[in-house]
Amino acid sequence: MDKPKIAQKAPYVLDLDAGKYAWCACGLSQKQPFCDGSHKGTGFKPLVFELEEPKRVALCGCKQTGKPPFCDGTHKNL
C-alpha cells in the first residue's frame, strides 16, 4: 500500500478532551479518524498527538493533508 485510503472527503470535526490520541494515517481503520490497528502490514503507522486542553479540532478524513493530523482543505481538490 503506497498511498492511504481516503476515508472520507471531509474533515472529522470533534470536541476532544485533553489527552493523547492516535490519528489513523492509512485510512483503513473502522474507528475513523482514530487508529484501530488496521495499518499492520501496510507500512503506515498512526500519528500520535496530544491536546493540552479540551479543544474542537478538524481531523483530516482524506488522509492527504499537508498538516497531519489536522485538515488543511486538501480534500476539496480530490
Q: 15-45 pLDDT, tens per residue?
A: 999 999 999 999 999 999 999 999 999 999 9
Domain segments of the chain: what residues? 12-77
The alpha carbon dihedral of 67, 37, 31, 48 has a sign of negative
Confidence of residue 1 (pLDDT cuts 50, 70, 90): confident
* Other beta carbons within 10 Å of 48: 11
